[in-house]
Amino acid sequence: MLLHGNIKHIIGHRSPLIYGHFIEHFHRQIYGGIYDPNSPLSDEDGFRTDVIDALKKIKIPILRWPGGCFVSSYHWKDAVGSKRMPFFDKAWRVEDPSTFGTDEYIMLCRKINCEPYICTNAGTGTAEEMSDWVEYCNLETEGKYAKWRIENGFPSPHKVKYWSIGNENYGFWEIGAKDSKEWSRLVKESVKMIKHVDPLTQLSAAALTDLDWNIHLLTEAGDFLDWISIHQYWDPINQTNDYADYEQTMAYTHRIGHSIEKMRGLLTAMNLEKKIKIAFDEWNLRGWYHPNVHTIQQGITKEEYLYPRDKNDDNTKYTMADAIFTACFLNELNRNCDIVGMANYAPAVNTRGCIFTYPEGIVLRSTYHVFDLYVNYMGDIVLNTWSENMPFITVQNKAKENLDISALDILVSKWSDKPGIAVAAVNKNPLNFQSLQLDIAGAKGNVKHFCLMGESTESYNDINHEEVKIQKKDLGSFSDNREIILPPHSINIIQIL
Ligand code: AHR
């Protein structure tokens, strides 16, 4: 394939927040994951230092918390101060000890040097409870909640800029689910009260790529909103855990940006595309495995609804399929950087996350290295390109339909603060090397090739088992139409500096 471009043809400046993450009070993400006070690997505040270091290496820019479904019956006041109230989490049907609350979360964000992004309880919560939370976090000394924070040992405000009203309150599975009219009214009253507490907050609200839902939401509350939140998991295996294989996963990369297209259209139709940005604040190839929770016939025994969650911890399942998909979606987020301002990989640690913890250490799953490549090796200015002779592959999706999809997914970037370009080239072909010729006007310098791959499409990383890693090659000086060979099932960053 021949790729044409020009370092002056700019699509936009992508926000660093598109490489954000999410962490929820679910299974071992928090307790036994990032927060493990009894671990010898934890610091004085109870945080796993190996996890902190790994999160810092991929420069997580923003971390959404505490849910997810969890938040829709969560009362933040149970988990601050000296008297923590353990409570039964009705979303995930376990007791939460409340030892990890707002102040611990802020400490975590400070340790990994990221923006906090708090999702509020719009299920059983109220506009007042949400705005009390903002008082606690953002007011200097005014009122009882700021004074409570000071009493708890935090004299300075936490300065939480990003807040979301609710999580998936459109869904029957969500505690406190609402119809579009109820939702728009609650959001409006909530954002009004929050803005009265701190007008500098940036507010999002749970949304769908659905006309009715968004017309009500944006008509009522659009004036107060800066973001609109959407979620997507492409392989819906929450109940079955029947992983899409490599070919079926490649089928999911076809029109991978469909939700973004739809939301862009809805915002444009309402003349809001310049005011409100998309926060794609939960995404992952695969849904989390938690059977018998969101159904009326809920699992009766813990063997039916609780213990199966441990199967999310099977590292052999996070292969090059997950890595290739993740790279294709990060490319799509970059291509839509004019309207997607934030995205949060769900989740960061354990479950389907890019980091897996065990008592003696961590495993960096294949997807972790994709974030490493994009955050540390790609530029922040997205360039426009066009291609000739795009190769295609035919894949079969889970519905047994055959799809012809592009074998390559290419993104070209440059830096706002230094010369050079960086090309992200994803080869989805499971068997064949692909040739990529670069005709990028203005590109000059030496070529470095960073390639993430394993021996096969099924390669994975696990405890004392590393198959997927980044390999670096120096390819000498760049010349026009320089051919780069892309290995099968690989993610490649080609830097020309
Ligand atoms: O499977 C996890 C859930 O997925 C999150 O809690 C929720 O936000 C989404 O539906």
Give dist(CA 13, CA 380) in Å, integer.
Answer: 6
What is the 225 CA–ligand 1 centroid distance (Å)? 22
Q: Ligand 1: distance of its center to the CA of 239 in Å?
A: 12
Whole-model pTM above 0.95?
A: yes
15-377 maps to which CATH number?
3.20.20.80
Task: State the Cα–Cα distance between residues 367 and 2, nearest whole angstrom.
Answer: 28
Q: Ligand 1 pocket: which of 288, 294, 312, 352 to mutate (most atoms <8 Å of CB)?
A: 288
**How high is the pLDDT of residue 479?**
84
Question: Is residue 43's pLDDT more than 70?
Answer: yes
Gyration radius (Cα) of the chain, Å: 23
Phi, psi of 314 (to 5 degrees): -85, 100
Three-class SS state of 7: strand
Is the peptide bond prior to 61 cis by the omega test (within 30 degrees of 0)? no
- Between 153-162, 197-206, 472-481, the lowest mean confidence (pLDDT) is in 472-481
Of the residues 233, 234, 240, which should be mutated to test ligand 1's pocket, given the most ligand atoms within 8 Å of the CB?
A: 233
The answer on pLDDT for 481 being more than 80 is: no
Domain 2-9+381-496 listed as CATH 3.40.50.300: no
pLDDT in tens, 65-93: 999 999 999 999 999 999 998 999 999 99
**CB 122, CB 190: distance < 8 Å:** yes
Side chain identity at 146, as an amino acid letter?
A
Backbone angles phi, psi at 129, to 5 degrees: -65, -40
Res. 140 pLDDT band, cuts 50 70 90: very high
> Quick one: pLDDT band at residue 235, thresholds 50, 70, 90?
very high
Q: Of the residues 21, 69, 172, which should be mutated to test ligand 1's pocket, given the most ligand atoms within 8 Å of the CB?
A: 69
For residue 296, what pLDDT band results from cuts at 50, 70 and 90? Answer: low
User: Average pLDDT in the 385-399 region?
Assistant: 96
**Going by CA atoms, what residue is nearest to atom 8 of ligand 1?**
68
**For 316-325, what is each residue's pLDDT tens digit?**
999 999 999 9
What is the C-alpha to C-alpha distance for residues 381 and 451, in angstroms, rounded to an integer?
21
**68 Cα to the center of ligand 1, angstroms:** 5
**Residue 274 corresponds to which tokens in the numbers above?**
């310049």
Buried b (16+ CB within 10 A) or exposed e, 437-466: bbbbeebeeebbbbbbbbeebbbbbeeeee
State the pLDDT at residue 185: 96
Mean pLDDT computed over every residue of the chain? 96
The domain locations on the chain are 2-9+381-496, 15-377
Asked whether the predicted pLDDT for residue 437 surpasses 90, the reply is: yes
State residue 169's pLDDT score.
95
pLDDT value, residue 211: 86
For residue 171, give the ligand 1 atom closest to its CA: 10
Average pLDDT over residues 349-357: 98
Confidence of residue 163 (pLDDT cuts 50, 70, 90): very high
DSSP code string of 23-85: --SSTTSTBTTTB-TT-TTB-TTSBBHHHHHHHHHTT--EEEES-SGGGGG--GGGGSSSS--
Q: Is the pLDDT of residue 295 over 80?
A: no
87-128 pLDDT, tens per residue? 999 999 999 999 999 999 999 999 999 999 999 999 999 999
Instruction: Tell me the percentage of the chain whose pLDDT exceeds 90.
Output: 95
